[in-house]
């Protein structure tokens, strides 16, 4: 509740200077703000009694609705009040606090309700649709972050695609290399003993250093290997970023493949061998089905990690949303940084939830019996 007393939005003369704070009920005319404030207060109140999950969920949704309503009302109103064409409005501390509290309320309620994987998928889709609808409607367009977007629409679409290509492409490549390597490591203890330490060493290299290392390495390859430059291999750009991400991905993929395959009970593996299954049959019928959740968990780690790491690729010209983050840092333009960061967070969160659902669906034994 106290968060309502913290400045809700801020208005600044231009995109660089710090803004002036505005309280929640002053962002627009009282008639426009009242429903929003009321919804937030009511939503928070509904969340107070413990043990009533549905009530708490409803409260959280109501509060979030009020929150965005205020934002949608406040942005154009504040901008109108400002006299300069360069004025910028953005959400302030109060908005962030309320968003955090209400989201926590929602996740808490959902955790208590423990919906099945399909229900969770539906919920995720609903949230994404609601978000898309708000963005599409243009009601938030006056906000500063969307003004940054408006001047970079083509670039933004390009960056998102590049980001996805980096994250998913490196995941796919790591999987193609990592699965067979993991299976081999699982079968041969000797190979496992030498491969896993090397991969975990790679994992400990700080990401900035890794991207830095790629520059001279691939630069040399590009200069000295005929034809390498023609397919885009050079010290900076997409190739080194992609390669670094693949290297980072190998340990989780290989490690979890080995752990997953080994998670089949020893007696079951011995019995499978004793009844005359070939090693391929054992892999396909026993070890893979039993290990799939662990293997998918490895892919989840890689995906979320790579979506985050791909931001740093912006630093070596790899493209992606990181480009905006670093441009923003150079220009001290917070909104530009957010234009890169927020979609990254949204992407990572969505992927994490989707992968969690897949992991649950991959469980080989029905839940009520295990």
Residues near other proteins (CB under 8 A) are: 265, 267-268, 270-278, 281, 285-286, 289-290, 364-366, 369-370
Q: Which is nearer to other proteins, 286 or 310 (CB)?
A: 286
We find the least distance from the C-beta atom of residue 115 to other proteins, in angstroms, to be 24
In angstroms, what CA-CA distances link 351 with 196, 274, 300, 305, 309? 26, 41, 8, 10, 14
Q: Which is nearer to other proteins, 18 or 275 (CB)?
A: 275
Radius of gyration of the chain (CA): 25
Q: Which is nearer to other proteins, 122 or 364 (CB)?
A: 364
Q: Which is nearer to other proteins, 113 or 284 (CB)?
A: 284
Strand partners, 88: 12
We find the least distance from the C-beta atom of residue 192 to other proteins, in angstroms, to be 22
We find the least distance from the C-beta atom of residue 292 to other proteins, in angstroms, to be 10
> In what helix (H) or strand (E) does residue 20 lie, and over which residues does it extend?
strand 20-22
Residues 323 and 340 sit within 8 Å (Cβ to Cβ): yes
In angstroms, what CA-CA distances link 41 with 58, 64, 69, 309? 13, 11, 13, 38
Q: Which is nearer to other proteins, 76 or 289 (CB)?
A: 289
We find the least distance from the C-beta atom of residue 271 to other proteins, in angstroms, to be 3
Q: Going by C-beta distance under 8 Å and a sequence separation of 6 or more, which residues neighbour residue 121?
A: 354, 357
Question: How many Å apart are CA 146 and CA 336, to the nearest integer?
Answer: 9
Nearest-CA neighbor of 252 among 181, 333, 189? Answer: 181
Q: Going by C-beta distance under 8 Å and a sequence separation of 6 or more, which residues neighbour residue 364?
A: 289, 290, 292, 293
We find the least distance from the C-beta atom of residue 65 to other proteins, in angstroms, to be 44
We find the least distance from the C-beta atom of residue 360 to other proteins, in angstroms, to be 15
Q: Which is nearer to other proteins, 232 or 265 (CB)?
A: 265
Distance of CA 193 to the CA centre of its chain: 33
Residue 71: Cβ-neighbour burial (10 angstroms; 0-12, 13-18, 19+): buried
Q: Which is nearer to other proteins, 114 or 275 (CB)?
A: 275
Q: Which is nearer to other proteins, 169 or 289 (CB)?
A: 289
Question: How many Å apart are CA 236 and CA 244, to the nearest integer?
Answer: 12
The length of the chain is 370
Distance of CA 254 to the CA centre of its chain: 22
We find the least distance from the C-beta atom of residue 290 to other proteins, in angstroms, to be 6
We find the least distance from the C-beta atom of residue 268 to other proteins, in angstroms, to be 5
């Amino acid at each position: 509740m106290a968060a309502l007393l913290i400045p809700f939005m801020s208005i600044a003369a231009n995109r660089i200077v710090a803004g002036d704070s505005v309280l929640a009920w002053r962002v627009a005319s009282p008639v426009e703000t009242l429903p929003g404030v009321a919804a937030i207060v009511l939503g928070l109140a509904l969340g107070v009694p413990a043990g009533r999950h549905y009530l708490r969920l409803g409260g959280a949704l109501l509060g979030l609705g009020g929150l965005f309503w205020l934002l949608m009302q406040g942005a154009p109103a504040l901008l109108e009040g400002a006299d300069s064409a360069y004025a910028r409005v953005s959400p302030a501390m109060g908005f962030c606090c309320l968003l955090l509290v209400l989201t926590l309320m929602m996740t808490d309620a959902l955790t208590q309700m423990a919906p099945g994987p399909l229900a969770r998928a539906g919920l995720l889709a609903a949230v994404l649709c609601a978000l898309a609808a708000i963005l599409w409607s243009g009601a938030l367009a006056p906000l500063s972050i969307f003004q940054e977007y408006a001047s970079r629409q083509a670039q933004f679409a390009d960056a998102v695609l590049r980001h996805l290509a980096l994250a998913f492409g490196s995941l796919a490549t790591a999987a193609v290399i990592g699965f067979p390597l993991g299976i081999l490591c699982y079968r041969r203890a000797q190979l496992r003993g030498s491969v896993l330490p090397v991969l975990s060493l790679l994992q400990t290299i700080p990401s900035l250093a890794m991207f830095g290392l790629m520059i001279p390495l691939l630069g040399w390859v590009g200069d000295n290997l005929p034809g390498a430059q023609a397919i885009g291999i050079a010290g900076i750009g997409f190739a080194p970023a992609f390669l670094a991400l693949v290297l980072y991905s190998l340990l989780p993929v290989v490690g979890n493949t080995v752990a997953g395959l080994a998670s089949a009970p020893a007696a079951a593996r011995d019995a499978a061998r004793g009844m005359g299954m070939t090693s391929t049959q054992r892999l396909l019928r026993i070890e893979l089905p039993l290990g799939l959740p662990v293997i998918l968990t490895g892919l989840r780690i890689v995906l979320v990690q790579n979506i985050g790491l791909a931001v740093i690729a912006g630093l070596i010209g790899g493209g992606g949303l990181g480009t905006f983050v670093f441009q923003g840092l150079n220009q001290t333009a917070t909104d530009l940084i957010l234009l890169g960061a927020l979609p990254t967070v949204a992407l990572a969160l969505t992927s994490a939830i989707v992968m969690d659902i897949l992991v649950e669906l991959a469980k080989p034994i029905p839940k009520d019996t295990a």
